[in-house]
Amino acid sequence: MKTKSRSLRAQFLIRTFITLMMIVMIAGTVQFFYIKQQVAKDVQRKSLILSESVEQGIAETKLASTSIEHQIDLRLLSYATRISYRLGDQPLQSITNKELKSLSKELGVTGITLFGKEKNDIVGVKATDPSEIGFSFKKIGYTIGYQSLEKLYQNEKVPYTSGVTYSTRTMYALPISQSGSHGNKPTFFKYAYYHAPGTDYIINPYIEANEVYQFTNKVGPNTLINKMEEKFPFVKEIGVLEPTVFKSPELAKKLYPPLKKVAYGKYTYKDSKDKQIMLDILKGRKSMTEYIKSYGHEKVYKMFIPTKDGQVIYIALDYSQLSKSLSRSSIILIVSGIASLLALFFITARFFNEIYVKIRLIIDQIKRLESRDLTAKSNIYGVSELTELSEGLNSMVDSWNESVRHTKQQADKTQKLSVLLEAEASNSVEKMFEMSTESTMKSREQLYEINEFLDDLKEILTVYNFKEKEKRLKKLRK
């Protein structure tokens, strides 16, 4: 069975279209993966820039707060020595709260508490604030605080690993933190503990540090984080996390050192895997960790970057918004690429269609020539090989027509000559017949004469032979 073949135009258009579609698909796929990588790199780059800014802000804030706290520590040391000097050699029980209030007002400190030993504990015995009386680090579960007071009694230096900001054999200071004896109202104080040699009590002057705390917060990481969130709309939230609290949540309940899961910023986009990430960072198994997670209709890019001081900078970015610009650019590129390829396809198709029409004209001309129509010609205009081919075929047709015309003329001449030859041939045949008849008659006459001659010769020879034989017989007889 003979299959129907497609035209050259159909084959060309189909193959061209398939080729262009393959180019579009391959280019689109390559571009998709390339842009995906670019988006990932861009998001990571922005996250790292933000984390560096946050880390720098933390470092600057810590430097500033450390400097401020050190100045306060020295002031508290000065206050403690002056209080010790004013109290003199009085035993703890003889000192009155009124006397402490007078000293507090004179020195400009917020309050003064005197700690003394009671049974197996060290508690507040005298104080300007009644809520401080009976306060014990043991009672609030802060064992290190109790141990630090014991070291002062033993004239030993409290190590900085205990969370102190300043330490000598006779005095140490704690960082600004919330008061443990003001549970109902969060109040931030700066505490110092001083033990004068030879006394049975520890002097605890403290000043209210709400203003200092607010100052460090105002110029610290929280302010920087808020500014970043306002400046960059793609930032969902930024936080500084304490991995040790993720490992041991009970640390958040202790006063010293003041630890919270979120030291600065916010952490609301939580996930079950975050805790494991924190533990891995804490163990040194991971450095930087990132992943993308959907929260409802939001696609969030999360990054966890450990800092030198053991904290982790957490950044949550709006992945959809970050990838929107690059995705838009990729769509524009893909659409423009498809449009260009379609334009190329239509231009190529139109160009080939013109060629195909010319080819069809030449094919029709050849078919007419095959059907013995020697007048078939094609009119193709322009400057191309097909024009030359058409002109060549037209020249061949003209040559064939000229040959046919010449052949026809020669045939006419031949026909005329054949008529003349036929007439002459008829005359020649008659003459030949007459000549043949005459020749035949003459030949018969000659044949007759020859036969007569031969008969006569035969008779003569017969007589001669007989006489010879007689002569021989006669000789033999003799």
Mean pLDDT in residue range 150-162: 88
Q: Quick one: pLDDT band at residue 353, thresholds 50, 70, 90?
A: confident
- Determine the CATH number of domain 88-212: 3.30.450
Q: Quick one: pLDDT band at residue 1, thresholds 50, 70, 90?
A: very low
Whole-angstrom Cα distance, residue 354 to residue 27? 30
Q: Classify residue 258 as left (phi > 0), alpha (psi -120 to 50) or beta.
A: beta
- Higher pLDDT pick, 112 / 431: 112
Report for 109-123, 154-168, 214-228: range of highest mean pLDDT: 109-123
- Higher pLDDT pick, 428 / 395: 395
Average pLDDT, the chain: 81
Whole-angstrom Cα distance, residue 268 to residue 260? 14
Q: Would you call 20 exposed, middle or buried from its count of C-beta atoms within 10 A (0-12, 13-18, 19+)?
A: middle
The answer to whether 330 and 35 have CB atoms below 8 angstroms apart is yes
Q: Quick one: pLDDT band at residue 79, thresholds 50, 70, 90?
A: very high
Its pTM stands at 0.58
Q: Classify residue 119 as left (phi > 0), alpha (psi -120 to 50) or beta.
A: left
pLDDT at 268: 92
Per-domain residue ranges of the chain: 14-62+218-328, 88-212
Cβ neighbours of residue 457 under 8 Å, at least 6 residues apart? Answer: none
Q: Strands 166-167 and 171-173: what pairing?
A: antiparallel
Are 14-62+218-328 and 88-212 the same fold in CATH? yes
pLDDT at 465: 67
Whole-angstrom Cα distance, residue 172 to residue 147? 12
Q: What class does CATH assign to 14-62+218-328? A: alpha beta
pLDDT in tens, 395-406: 877 777 777 778
Cβ atoms within 10 A of the Cβ of 363, count? 12
Q: Is the pLDDT of residue 222 over 50?
A: yes
Cβ neighbours of residue 28 under 8 Å, at least 6 residues apart? Answer: 334, 337
pLDDT in tens, 302-345: 989 888 888 898 989 888 887 777 777 777 877 887 888 788 87
- What length does the chain have? 478
